[in-house]
Amino acid sequence: MNLTEYLEQDRKAVTAALQQAGGPQQTEAALEKALDRLLLRYNEECADEHLREAAMHMLQTARTLLPLTDSVGETRVWKLEASSAGTARKDSAMHPAVPVLIMAGLLLCGLPAAAPLFADLSGLEVRWIVLMIAAAVVGGILLMIAGYLQGQRGAARKAMKQPADTHTGQQKVDVYIDPDKAWQCLRGLVMAADRNLQDVQERAALDAQTEEQKNGLMIYADLQLCGDLLEMAYSAESEEMKSRLKFALHKQGIEAEDYAPGRETAFECLPGAVTVTLRPALTRDDAILRKGLASVS
């Protein structure tokens, strides 16, 4: 089994931990625990020491990428206003003193205009005329004050409606990590690690094959030497030398066969006055490793 299959078996526990995490730090801790469990499981099941070491380095690299999980989160900005929303809804659009000031100002301003309707101005004293003019001036001042208060009221309400991205008031930033996106990121990292492990495994197999080919060349060279030595032993009719060479080859699973009728395919046959083995054939499990040499009458 590879790392991805182990991770899929642990998916229920990982997703539950991610859903409970919420924030970036908690999510990173949950992913680190998942990678630790994954590495432990892989080390228990994998018998190849080189693959275990490669998996450890790859998962360590994956851990260094975990702080990037906040890139799959949602950022929320909260703004603390000077007044609550409920208070803002209860506030009226007009200052409480504005209606009173408007009414008083209108009355005072209208007094000089309404005086001729009720009295003969020619008979009034100068002081009454001055008082009516003063009342009109005061009324105008009251109307100006009412306008000023209402303007301040409108500016305050407008400021309360400013969006949260402005630099007024206190702000709070929360980042929420999407558990599904975090799982997909983790799975992608593990799949990449599996591909790298597969490359390591294929490279090791290729190296082993190359080494085996080298050993095969060495075996071929040894067979050539042993065949030549046996040919010399047969020529010298040295039974002791033949016995030692055959025993050494037998320990390697190789048999030195003398010529016999029916085994012509294992020998290079030369015509001769008598049938005699000049060099035995070297075989392993009935497979011919090196043909022998025989004189056949």
Q: Are 283 and 223 in contact (CB under 8 A)?
A: no
Question: Higher pLDDT residue, 168 or 25?
Answer: 25
Domain range annotation of the chain: 3-80+173-206, 85-168, 211-296
89: pLDDT strictly greater than 50:
no
Paired residues of 186 in beta bridges: none
Residue 176 confidence (pLDDT): 67
Question: Half-sphere exposure (CA, 13 Å, Cβ side) for 190?
Answer: 25
In which band, very low, low, confident or very high, does the pLDDT at 211 lie, cut at 50, 70 and 90? low
Question: Higher pLDDT residue, 68 or 47?
Answer: 47
103: pLDDT strictly greater than 70:
yes
Sheet of strand 255-257, all strands in order from the earlier edge strand to the far edge: 255-257, 281-284, 287-290
**Nearest Cα to Cα of residue 153 among 210, 91, 202, 207:** 91
DSSP string, 222-282: HHHHHHHHHHHHHHHT-HHHHHHHHHHHHHTT-EEE---TT-GGGEEEEE-SS-EEEEPEE
Q: What are 188-205's pLDDT values in tens digits?
A: 888 888 888 888 877 777
Q: What are 236-286's pLDDT values in tens digits?
A: 888 888 888 888 888 888 889 998 888 888 888 888 888 888 999 988 888
Residue 181 confidence (pLDDT): 80
Residue 214 confidence (pLDDT): 60
Please classify residue 255 by burial: count the beta carbons closer than 10 Å to its beta carbon, then call 0-12 exposed, 13-18 middle and 19+ buried.
middle
- Please give the span between the terminal C-alpha atoms of the chain, in angstroms, as a whole number: 63
Q: Parallel, antiparallel, or unpaired: how do β-strands 292-296 and 267-271 relate?
A: parallel
164: pLDDT strictly greater than 60:
no
Residue 197 confidence (pLDDT): 81
Structure token digits, residue 99: 């209606």
Q: What are 15-42's pLDDT values in tens digits?
A: 888 888 777 788 888 888 888 888 888 8
Q: What are 109-150's pLDDT values in tens digits?
A: 666 665 555 555 555 555 656 666 776 677 677 777 777 777
Long-range contacts of 287-292 (CB under 8 A, 24+ apart): 289/223, 289/254, 290/223, 290/224, 290/227, 291/266, 291/267, 292/257, 292/258, 292/259, 292/266, 292/267, 292/268
Q: Provide the whole-model pTM.
A: 0.41
Residue 239 confidence (pLDDT): 87
- Mean per-residue pLDDT for 70-80? 54
Mean pLDDT of the chain: 74
Containing 292, the helix (H) or strand (E) segment is strand 292-296
Containing 8, the helix (H) or strand (E) segment is helix 3-9
pLDDT above 70 as % of the chain: 64
Residue 135 confidence (pLDDT): 67
Q: Parallel, antiparallel, or unpaired: how do β-strands 170-177 and 73-80 relate?
A: antiparallel
Question: Half-sphere exposure (CA, 13 Å, Cβ side) for 74?
Answer: 7
- Mean per-residue pLDDT for 82-101? 56
Residue 180 confidence (pLDDT): 81
Structure token digits, residue 45: 């099941």
Which of 129-133, 164-168, 169-173 shows the lowest per-residue confidence on average (mean pLDDT)?
164-168
In which band, very low, low, confident or very high, does the pLDDT at 88 lie, cut at 50, 70 and 90? very low
Task: Compute the C-alpha angle 165/166/167, nearest 5°.
Answer: 120
Structure token digits, residue 192: 């990449």
**Nearest Cα to Cα of residue 55 among 114, 117, 2:** 2
**Nearest Cα to Cα of residue 227 among 246, 209, 240:** 246
What's the chain's Rg over C-alpha atoms?
Answer: 52
- Mean per-residue pLDDT for 48-77? 73
In which band, very low, low, confident or very high, does the pLDDT at 83 lie, cut at 50, 70 and 90? very low
